Amino acid sequence: MNTDLRQSLIYASRQFHQLGWMAGTAGNLSAKMPDNSFWITASGKQKGKLVTEDFVRMSLTGEILENPDPNNKPSAETSIHQAIYSLFPEANACYHVHSVEAKLVSNFIDHEQLPLPPIEMLKGLGIWQENPKVYLPVFENYLQVPRISEDIIQRFKQTSPDVPALLIRNHGVTVWADSPEAAENHIELVEYIFRYIVAARQAGLNIQH
């Protein structure tokens, strides 16, 4: 069971690396198990070449429960995954990638949120409305990652996000879902939407709500 989850993360990471969304060591992926512990990528690993030993198993409160390589440290952004799992108990996977488009669109914001175009792809993120007005929350990027996590907790406790995703400004996107496969799907959908936003701007199309 545990190995299976790590295999899903290795597979997704290789795909994202090939697409340029996890260049070098960028990004981190995690998957939660029924006992509420989660496997997360160890910090600083090349995301195109992960192996089973490149993961650390953590508790939801941040303790290391299992570490196949004593040199491994959990991802520097583990506290963001913890925040997501504690806010959304139905989340079983949390994926974070760094595409060029995610960084670009994180600057096209209005009151700390990115308006998403009302395109069909939103259905894959759970939005089934005609001409929906959907926003993606954008958080400031701090060197101290727990500061970002704290902002996420505070904001989402007050306002639930429209879709299971968030942006960190000039940094990347994070999504969550009830399975690793669904999280992979969410990453592909949000990245498509980001490419669409960038292309629409280049074409001079106004897609603001």
Ligand X SMILES: CSC[C@@H](O)[C@@H](O)C(=O)COP(=O)(O)O
β-partners of residue 114 are 136
Q: Which of residues 129-168 bind ligand X (CB under 6 A)?
A: none
Interface residue with ligand X, options 26, 31, 105, 189 (CB under 6 A): 26
- 161 or 172: CB nearest Zn ion: 172
Residue 72, binding choice from ligand X, Zn ion, none, Cβ under 5 to 8 Å by partner class: none
DSSP 57: E
Among 7, 36, 44, 89, binds ligand X (CB under 6 A): 44
Place of tokens 């597979």: 11
77 lies in the binding site for ligand X (CB under 6 A): yes
- Sorted by sequence, the CB contacts under 8 Å of residue 85 that are 6+ apart come out as 32, 36, 38, 60, 91, 94
Torsion of CA 86, 89, 93, 99, to 10 degrees: -60
| Residue 172, both tokens | 């990347």
191 contacts ligand X (rule: CB under 6 A): no
Of 117, 101, 163, 165, whose CA–CA distance to 139 is shortest?
Answer: 165
Per CB under 6 A, which region of 51-59, 70-78, 119-127, 131-139 contacts ligand X?
70-78
Q: Is 171 annotated as a binding residue?
A: no
How many residues appear in the chain?
209
Whether residue 153 contacts residue 81, with contact meaning beta carbons closer than 8 Å, is answered with no
SS3 content of the chain, % helix, strand, coil (to 5): 40, 20, 40
Q: How far is the CB of 205 from ligand X (least distance, A)?
A: 31
Least distance between Zn ion and beta carbon 96 (Å):
6
Binding mask 122-161 for Zn ion (x = CB under 5 A): ----------------------------------------
Please report whether residue 8 would count as binding ligand X according to CB under 6 A. no
| Interacting residues with Zn ion (CB under 5 A) | 172
| Interacting residues with ligand X (CB under 6 A) | 24-28, 41, 43-44, 75-77, 96, 98
